[in-house]
Amino acid sequence: MPLHDVGYRPWSGRLRPAGGAAAVIATTGILLAWKSRWLRRTVLFAWSPALVFAISFFAFEQAVEEGRVARLQIAPPSGSAIDGVGMLGAVLADTLGGGRHGGPTGSVEEIRRLVWSRLLLAFMRAPQAVLLAVVIGLVAPPLISGDLRAKAWLVYFTRPLSRSEYILGKAAILGVIVALVTMVPALVLWILGVLVSPSVWVAVTTWDLPLRIMLASVALAVPTVLMALAFSSLTAESRIAAFAWFATWVACWITHSALVSADMLAASGRSELRSFEPLPDPFSDGQVVPTPQDRPPPPRFERRGEFSQRFRWLTRAAGLDTSIDRWSWLSLYHSLGVVQAWVFGIERRAVAVVPPVITLAVVTLLSLAVLYLRVDRPTRA
Protein backbone atom coordinates (compact mmCIF):
# COMPACT_ATOMS: atom_id res chain seq x y z
CA MET A 1 0.00 0.00 0.00
CA PRO A 2 1.61 3.28 -1.09
CA LEU A 3 2.25 5.99 1.49
CA HIS A 4 1.25 9.59 0.70
CA ASP A 5 2.87 12.68 2.16
CA VAL A 6 0.10 14.36 4.17
CA GLY A 7 2.35 16.87 5.91
CA TYR A 8 2.55 20.63 5.33
CA ARG A 9 3.57 21.73 1.89
CA PRO A 10 5.74 24.83 1.36
CA TRP A 11 4.01 28.02 0.25
CA SER A 12 4.68 28.72 -3.41
CA GLY A 13 2.71 31.95 -3.75
CA ARG A 14 3.79 35.56 -3.41
CA LEU A 15 4.40 36.73 0.14
CA ARG A 16 3.21 40.18 1.11
CA PRO A 17 5.52 42.40 3.13
CA ALA A 18 5.05 42.80 6.85
CA GLY A 19 2.50 45.45 7.71
CA GLY A 20 0.37 44.78 4.66
CA ALA A 21 -2.53 43.72 6.86
CA ALA A 22 -2.88 47.28 8.16
CA ALA A 23 -3.11 48.57 4.59
CA VAL A 24 -5.84 46.01 3.79
CA ILE A 25 -7.83 47.03 6.87
CA ALA A 26 -7.46 50.71 5.99
CA THR A 27 -8.42 50.27 2.34
CA THR A 28 -11.46 48.19 3.16
CA GLY A 29 -12.58 50.59 5.88
CA ILE A 30 -12.24 53.65 3.65
CA LEU A 31 -14.25 52.03 0.85
CA LEU A 32 -17.00 51.01 3.28
CA ALA A 33 -17.11 54.43 4.94
CA TRP A 34 -17.22 56.26 1.61
CA LYS A 35 -20.43 54.42 0.72
CA SER A 36 -22.23 56.57 3.28
CA ARG A 37 -24.12 59.33 1.54
CA TRP A 38 -23.95 61.53 4.65
CA LEU A 39 -20.18 61.26 4.76
CA ARG A 40 -19.81 62.28 1.11
CA ARG A 41 -22.08 65.26 1.65
CA THR A 42 -20.26 66.32 4.79
CA VAL A 43 -16.84 66.13 3.12
CA LEU A 44 -18.18 68.11 0.16
CA PHE A 45 -19.62 70.71 2.53
CA ALA A 46 -16.28 70.88 4.35
CA TRP A 47 -14.67 72.12 1.13
CA SER A 48 -17.14 75.00 0.72
CA PRO A 49 -15.40 77.44 3.15
CA ALA A 50 -12.34 77.22 0.92
CA LEU A 51 -14.16 79.37 -1.64
CA VAL A 52 -14.49 82.26 0.83
CA PHE A 53 -10.83 82.11 1.80
CA ALA A 54 -9.80 81.78 -1.84
CA ILE A 55 -11.53 85.13 -2.47
CA SER A 56 -9.47 86.61 0.36
CA PHE A 57 -6.26 85.33 -1.22
CA PHE A 58 -7.32 86.84 -4.55
CA ALA A 59 -8.21 90.19 -2.90
CA PHE A 60 -4.84 90.38 -1.16
CA GLU A 61 -2.88 89.58 -4.30
CA GLN A 62 -4.87 92.19 -6.21
CA ALA A 63 -3.95 94.72 -3.54
CA VAL A 64 -0.30 93.73 -3.91
CA GLU A 65 -0.41 94.01 -7.69
CA GLU A 66 -2.06 97.44 -7.55
CA GLY A 67 0.53 98.69 -5.07
CA ARG A 68 -1.88 99.37 -2.23
CA VAL A 69 0.07 97.21 0.21
CA ALA A 70 3.31 99.05 -0.57
CA ARG A 71 1.62 102.42 -0.01
CA LEU A 72 0.15 101.25 3.28
CA GLN A 73 3.64 100.38 4.50
CA ILE A 74 4.53 104.07 4.26
CA ALA A 75 1.25 105.25 5.83
CA PRO A 76 -0.06 102.46 8.10
CA PRO A 77 -3.83 102.27 8.50
CA SER A 78 -5.31 103.91 11.58
CA GLY A 79 -8.48 101.84 11.64
CA SER A 80 -9.28 98.25 12.21
CA ALA A 81 -9.78 97.45 8.52
CA ILE A 82 -8.65 98.52 5.09
CA ASP A 83 -11.16 99.61 2.49
CA GLY A 84 -11.28 97.71 -0.75
CA VAL A 85 -9.96 94.42 0.57
CA GLY A 86 -13.22 93.10 2.05
CA MET A 87 -13.07 90.54 4.86
CA LEU A 88 -9.29 90.55 4.59
CA GLY A 89 -9.12 94.15 5.79
CA ALA A 90 -8.71 93.53 9.52
CA VAL A 91 -6.13 90.80 8.95
CA LEU A 92 -4.06 93.06 6.69
CA ALA A 93 -4.41 96.10 8.98
CA ASP A 94 -3.11 94.19 11.99
CA THR A 95 -0.35 92.63 9.92
CA LEU A 96 0.87 96.07 8.81
CA GLY A 97 0.94 97.27 12.39
CA GLY A 98 -2.03 99.62 12.27
CA GLY A 99 -3.88 97.72 14.96
CA ARG A 100 -2.86 96.99 18.52
CA HIS A 101 -0.42 94.28 17.36
CA GLY A 102 2.99 94.83 15.90
CA GLY A 103 3.48 93.97 12.26
CA PRO A 104 6.36 93.67 9.88
CA THR A 105 7.75 96.77 8.26
CA GLY A 106 9.87 94.92 5.71
CA SER A 107 9.18 93.77 2.20
CA VAL A 108 5.91 92.74 0.64
CA GLU A 109 7.11 89.12 0.73
CA GLU A 110 7.24 89.23 4.54
CA ILE A 111 3.75 90.68 4.71
CA ARG A 112 2.51 88.06 2.26
CA ARG A 113 3.93 85.24 4.37
CA LEU A 114 2.23 86.48 7.52
CA VAL A 115 -1.09 87.22 5.83
CA TRP A 116 -1.12 83.81 4.14
CA SER A 117 -0.19 82.09 7.40
CA ARG A 118 -3.01 83.82 9.26
CA LEU A 119 -5.55 83.04 6.57
CA LEU A 120 -4.53 79.37 6.43
CA LEU A 121 -4.59 79.18 10.23
CA ALA A 122 -8.06 80.72 10.33
CA PHE A 123 -9.25 78.27 7.68
CA MET A 124 -7.96 75.23 9.58
CA ARG A 125 -9.15 76.45 13.00
CA ALA A 126 -12.56 77.99 12.47
CA PRO A 127 -14.56 75.99 9.90
CA GLN A 128 -12.45 72.89 9.33
CA ALA A 129 -11.89 71.85 12.95
CA VAL A 130 -15.62 72.02 13.70
CA LEU A 131 -16.55 70.10 10.56
CA LEU A 132 -13.82 67.58 11.36
CA ALA A 133 -15.49 66.80 14.68
CA VAL A 134 -18.72 66.04 12.81
CA VAL A 135 -16.99 63.85 10.22
CA ILE A 136 -15.11 61.81 12.82
CA GLY A 137 -18.33 61.44 14.80
CA LEU A 138 -19.93 59.84 11.75
CA VAL A 139 -17.08 57.47 10.84
CA ALA A 140 -15.20 56.54 14.01
CA PRO A 141 -17.85 55.04 16.36
CA PRO A 142 -18.55 51.80 14.41
CA LEU A 143 -14.92 51.11 13.45
CA ILE A 144 -14.07 49.02 16.54
CA SER A 145 -17.43 48.76 18.28
CA GLY A 146 -18.85 47.12 15.16
CA ASP A 147 -16.10 44.48 15.27
CA LEU A 148 -16.86 43.83 18.94
CA ARG A 149 -20.57 43.54 18.32
CA ALA A 150 -20.21 41.22 15.30
CA LYS A 151 -17.25 39.36 16.89
CA ALA A 152 -15.23 40.11 13.78
CA TRP A 153 -12.04 39.91 15.87
CA LEU A 154 -12.44 36.10 15.63
CA VAL A 155 -11.70 36.46 11.92
CA TYR A 156 -9.10 39.23 12.27
CA PHE A 157 -6.90 37.46 14.79
CA THR A 158 -6.97 34.05 13.14
CA ARG A 159 -4.46 35.67 10.79
CA PRO A 160 -0.94 36.72 11.76
CA LEU A 161 -2.20 40.15 12.76
CA SER A 162 -0.79 42.12 15.68
CA ARG A 163 -2.56 44.69 17.81
CA SER A 164 -0.40 47.45 16.38
CA GLU A 165 -1.37 46.55 12.80
CA TYR A 166 -5.05 46.43 13.72
CA ILE A 167 -4.95 49.82 15.46
CA LEU A 168 -2.83 51.30 12.67
CA GLY A 169 -5.30 50.11 10.04
CA LYS A 170 -8.27 51.60 11.88
CA ALA A 171 -6.41 54.85 12.53
CA ALA A 172 -5.44 55.11 8.85
CA ILE A 173 -9.13 55.12 7.91
CA LEU A 174 -9.74 58.23 9.97
CA GLY A 175 -6.37 59.70 8.97
CA VAL A 176 -7.32 59.72 5.29
CA ILE A 177 -10.67 61.34 6.05
CA VAL A 178 -8.99 63.96 8.25
CA ALA A 179 -6.61 64.75 5.39
CA LEU A 180 -9.54 65.17 2.99
CA VAL A 181 -11.19 67.67 5.35
CA THR A 182 -8.18 69.69 6.56
CA MET A 183 -4.88 69.15 4.77
CA VAL A 184 -5.99 68.75 1.14
CA PRO A 185 -8.22 71.88 0.95
CA ALA A 186 -5.56 73.94 2.75
CA LEU A 187 -2.94 72.83 0.24
CA VAL A 188 -5.35 73.69 -2.57
CA LEU A 189 -5.73 77.17 -1.04
CA TRP A 190 -1.96 77.62 -1.08
CA ILE A 191 -1.82 76.52 -4.72
CA LEU A 192 -4.61 78.96 -5.60
CA GLY A 193 -2.72 81.74 -3.82
CA VAL A 194 0.33 80.98 -5.94
CA LEU A 195 -1.72 80.93 -9.12
CA VAL A 196 -3.34 84.33 -8.48
CA SER A 197 -0.03 85.93 -7.46
CA PRO A 198 1.81 88.26 -9.82
CA SER A 199 4.67 85.77 -10.16
CA VAL A 200 5.18 82.06 -9.55
CA TRP A 201 8.26 83.06 -7.54
CA VAL A 202 5.81 83.38 -4.64
CA ALA A 203 5.92 79.57 -4.35
CA VAL A 204 9.61 79.84 -3.46
CA THR A 205 9.16 82.57 -0.85
CA THR A 206 6.31 80.63 0.81
CA TRP A 207 7.80 77.15 0.38
CA ASP A 208 7.44 76.29 4.06
CA LEU A 209 3.67 76.88 4.25
CA PRO A 210 2.75 73.48 2.73
CA LEU A 211 5.01 71.81 5.29
CA ARG A 212 3.35 73.78 8.08
CA ILE A 213 -0.06 72.78 6.73
CA MET A 214 0.85 69.10 6.84
CA LEU A 215 2.36 69.41 10.31
CA ALA A 216 -0.72 71.25 11.58
CA SER A 217 -2.95 68.53 10.10
CA VAL A 218 -0.91 65.84 11.85
CA ALA A 219 -1.16 67.73 15.15
CA LEU A 220 -4.92 67.87 14.62
CA ALA A 221 -5.33 64.25 13.54
CA VAL A 222 -3.27 62.30 16.08
CA PRO A 223 -5.13 63.12 19.33
CA THR A 224 -8.59 63.28 17.75
CA VAL A 225 -8.27 60.00 15.84
CA LEU A 226 -6.89 58.08 18.80
CA MET A 227 -9.50 59.46 21.19
CA ALA A 228 -12.33 58.57 18.81
CA LEU A 229 -10.99 55.02 18.40
CA ALA A 230 -10.63 54.70 22.19
CA PHE A 231 -14.31 55.59 22.64
CA SER A 232 -15.23 53.09 19.94
CA SER A 233 -13.27 50.32 21.67
CA LEU A 234 -14.98 50.82 25.03
CA THR A 235 -18.41 49.68 23.90
CA ALA A 236 -20.10 47.40 21.40
CA GLU A 237 -22.77 50.04 20.67
CA SER A 238 -21.67 52.63 18.17
CA ARG A 239 -24.38 55.02 19.36
CA ILE A 240 -22.82 55.17 22.81
CA ALA A 241 -19.38 55.81 21.29
CA ALA A 242 -20.80 58.62 19.13
CA PHE A 243 -22.54 60.18 22.13
CA ALA A 244 -19.31 60.05 24.17
CA TRP A 245 -17.39 61.70 21.32
CA PHE A 246 -19.77 64.63 20.83
CA ALA A 247 -20.44 65.00 24.57
CA THR A 248 -16.71 65.37 25.24
CA TRP A 249 -16.34 68.14 22.66
CA VAL A 250 -19.45 69.99 23.83
CA ALA A 251 -18.70 69.67 27.56
CA CYS A 252 -15.11 70.88 27.14
CA TRP A 253 -16.26 73.78 24.94
CA ILE A 254 -18.92 74.85 27.46
CA THR A 255 -16.48 74.61 30.37
CA HIS A 256 -13.91 76.70 28.51
CA SER A 257 -16.49 79.32 27.48
CA ALA A 258 -17.85 79.60 31.01
CA LEU A 259 -14.41 80.19 32.54
CA VAL A 260 -13.39 82.66 29.83
CA SER A 261 -16.66 84.57 30.29
CA ALA A 262 -16.06 84.69 34.04
CA ASP A 263 -12.60 86.15 33.46
CA MET A 264 -14.01 88.75 31.08
CA LEU A 265 -16.68 89.78 33.57
CA ALA A 266 -14.10 90.09 36.31
CA ALA A 267 -11.82 92.16 34.07
CA SER A 268 -14.67 94.47 33.02
CA GLY A 269 -15.62 94.96 36.67
CA ARG A 270 -12.09 96.00 37.55
CA SER A 271 -11.94 98.43 34.62
CA GLU A 272 -15.23 100.04 35.70
CA LEU A 273 -13.88 100.55 39.20
CA ARG A 274 -10.78 102.22 37.78
CA SER A 275 -12.90 104.53 35.61
CA PHE A 276 -14.63 105.94 38.67
CA GLU A 277 -11.45 106.94 40.53
CA PRO A 278 -11.88 109.96 42.86
CA LEU A 279 -11.33 113.37 41.28
CA PRO A 280 -9.66 116.37 42.99
CA ASP A 281 -11.73 119.20 44.40
CA PRO A 282 -12.73 121.45 41.50
CA PHE A 283 -12.58 124.56 43.74
CA SER A 284 -9.02 124.00 44.94
CA ASP A 285 -7.39 125.74 41.98
CA GLY A 286 -10.34 127.39 40.35
CA GLN A 287 -10.50 124.87 37.51
CA VAL A 288 -13.17 122.27 36.84
CA VAL A 289 -11.79 118.75 36.39
CA PRO A 290 -13.56 116.83 33.63
CA THR A 291 -15.42 113.69 34.60
CA PRO A 292 -14.54 110.29 33.06
CA GLN A 293 -17.56 110.63 30.78
CA ASP A 294 -16.27 113.95 29.43
CA ARG A 295 -12.76 112.74 28.70
CA PRO A 296 -11.86 112.37 25.01
CA PRO A 297 -12.28 108.88 23.57
CA PRO A 298 -9.19 106.80 22.89
CA PRO A 299 -7.68 106.76 19.40
CA ARG A 300 -9.51 104.73 16.82
CA PHE A 301 -6.83 102.04 16.57
CA GLU A 302 -7.24 101.28 20.29
CA ARG A 303 -10.90 100.46 19.92
CA ARG A 304 -12.20 97.21 18.56
CA GLY A 305 -13.58 97.88 15.13
CA GLU A 306 -16.89 96.88 13.69
CA PHE A 307 -15.24 94.05 11.79
CA SER A 308 -13.83 92.53 14.98
CA GLN A 309 -17.24 92.64 16.59
CA ARG A 310 -18.91 90.89 13.68
CA PHE A 311 -16.18 88.40 12.90
CA ARG A 312 -14.65 87.81 16.31
CA TRP A 313 -14.25 84.12 15.42
CA LEU A 314 -12.01 85.09 12.51
CA THR A 315 -9.83 87.49 14.48
CA ARG A 316 -9.23 84.85 17.15
CA ALA A 317 -8.72 82.04 14.67
CA ALA A 318 -6.27 84.08 12.60
CA GLY A 319 -4.15 84.90 15.64
CA LEU A 320 -5.06 88.62 15.74
CA ASP A 321 -6.23 88.37 19.35
CA THR A 322 -2.95 88.29 21.24
CA SER A 323 -4.43 87.77 24.70
CA ILE A 324 -3.37 84.50 26.34
CA ASP A 325 -6.20 82.03 26.81
CA ARG A 326 -5.29 80.48 30.15
CA TRP A 327 -8.18 78.00 29.95
CA SER A 328 -7.41 76.63 26.48
CA TRP A 329 -5.97 73.41 27.95
CA LEU A 330 -9.44 72.44 29.18
CA SER A 331 -10.88 72.23 25.66
CA LEU A 332 -9.64 69.92 22.93
CA TYR A 333 -10.73 72.36 20.24
CA HIS A 334 -8.93 75.36 21.76
CA SER A 335 -5.84 73.31 22.59
CA LEU A 336 -5.58 72.22 18.98
CA GLY A 337 -5.99 75.83 17.87
CA VAL A 338 -3.11 77.05 20.03
CA VAL A 339 -0.82 74.25 18.82
CA GLN A 340 -1.70 74.99 15.19
CA ALA A 341 -0.97 78.69 15.78
CA TRP A 342 2.43 77.65 17.12
CA VAL A 343 3.05 75.48 14.04
CA PHE A 344 2.31 78.45 11.75
CA GLY A 345 4.59 80.71 13.80
CA ILE A 346 1.76 82.97 14.98
CA GLU A 347 1.95 82.00 18.66
CA ARG A 348 5.46 81.73 20.15
CA ARG A 349 4.89 82.31 23.87
CA ALA A 350 5.68 79.24 25.94
CA VAL A 351 3.15 80.16 28.63
CA ALA A 352 0.40 79.91 26.00
CA VAL A 353 1.66 76.83 24.13
CA VAL A 354 2.91 74.47 26.86
CA PRO A 355 -0.44 73.76 28.66
CA PRO A 356 -2.31 72.79 25.44
CA VAL A 357 0.63 70.61 24.36
CA ILE A 358 0.50 68.77 27.69
CA THR A 359 -3.26 68.27 27.30
CA LEU A 360 -2.93 66.81 23.81
CA ALA A 361 -0.06 64.57 24.91
CA VAL A 362 -2.10 63.23 27.84
CA VAL A 363 -5.11 62.59 25.59
CA THR A 364 -2.92 60.77 23.06
CA LEU A 365 -1.19 58.55 25.62
CA LEU A 366 -4.41 57.68 27.47
CA SER A 367 -6.16 56.84 24.20
CA LEU A 368 -3.29 54.58 23.14
CA ALA A 369 -3.34 52.79 26.50
CA VAL A 370 -7.10 52.21 26.25
CA LEU A 371 -6.77 50.92 22.69
CA TYR A 372 -4.01 48.44 23.51
CA LEU A 373 -5.91 47.12 26.53
CA ARG A 374 -9.25 46.81 24.76
CA VAL A 375 -7.94 45.35 21.51
CA ASP A 376 -5.95 42.73 23.40
CA ARG A 377 -8.90 41.51 25.47
CA PRO A 378 -10.65 39.52 22.70
CA THR A 379 -7.43 37.64 21.97
CA ARG A 380 -7.20 36.57 25.61
CA ALA A 381 -10.84 35.50 25.85
- Residue by residue, what is the 3-state secondary structure of 113-145? HHHHHHHHHHHHHCHHHHHHHHHHHHHCHHHHH
Condensed to tens digits (0 to 9), the pLDDT of residues 115-135 reads 888 888 888 887 888 888 889
Q: Residue 237 phi/psi, 5° resolution?
A: -105, 115
Instruction: Identify the pLDDT of residue 94.
Output: 54
CA 302 to chain centre: 29
Measured CA to CA, the distance from residue 243 to residue 145 in angstroms comes to 13
Domain residue limits at 70? 20-269+301-380
Residue 77 located in a structural domain? yes
Measured CA to CA, the distance from residue 168 to residue 177 in angstroms comes to 14
Residue 177 located in a structural domain? yes
Residue 294 located in a structural domain? no
Instruction: Identify the pLDDT of residue 224.
Output: 94
Residue 11 located in a structural domain? no
Residue 245's contacts (CB-CB under 8 Å, 6 or more residues apart) are 133, 136, 137, 140, 141, 227, 228, 231
Give how many domains the chain has, as a whole number.
1
Measured CA to CA, the distance from residue 105 to residue 96 in angstroms comes to 7
Residue 6 located in a structural domain? no
Residue 130 located in a structural domain? yes
Using CB atoms within 10 A of its CB, is residue 336 exposed (0-12), middle (13-18) or buried (19+)?
A: buried
Helix (H, G, I), strand (E, B) or coil at 298: coil
Q: Give the pTM.
A: 0.77
Task: Tell me which residue of 179, 239, 242, 223 sits closest to 371, measured CA to CA.
Answer: 223
Instruction: Identify the pLDDT of residue 339.
Output: 93
pLDDT beneath 70: ranges in the chain: 1-9, 11, 15-19, 66-107, 269-321, 377-381
Condensed to tens digits (0 to 9), the pLDDT of residues 16-52 reads 666 677 888 888 889 988 888 888 888 888 888 888 8
Condensed to tens digits (0 to 9), the pLDDT of residues 299-310 reads 443 444 444 445
CA 22 to chain centre: 27
Instruction: Identify the pLDDT of residue 221.
Output: 92
Residue 14 located in a structural domain? no
Residue 288 located in a structural domain? no
Residues 121, 344 contacting (CB under 8 angstroms): yes
> What totals of helices (H) and strands (E) does the chain contain, helices first?
18, 0
Instruction: Identify the pLDDT of residue 302.
Output: 41
Given its phi and psi angles, is residue 151 left (phi above 0), alpha (psi -120 to 50 degrees) or beta? left
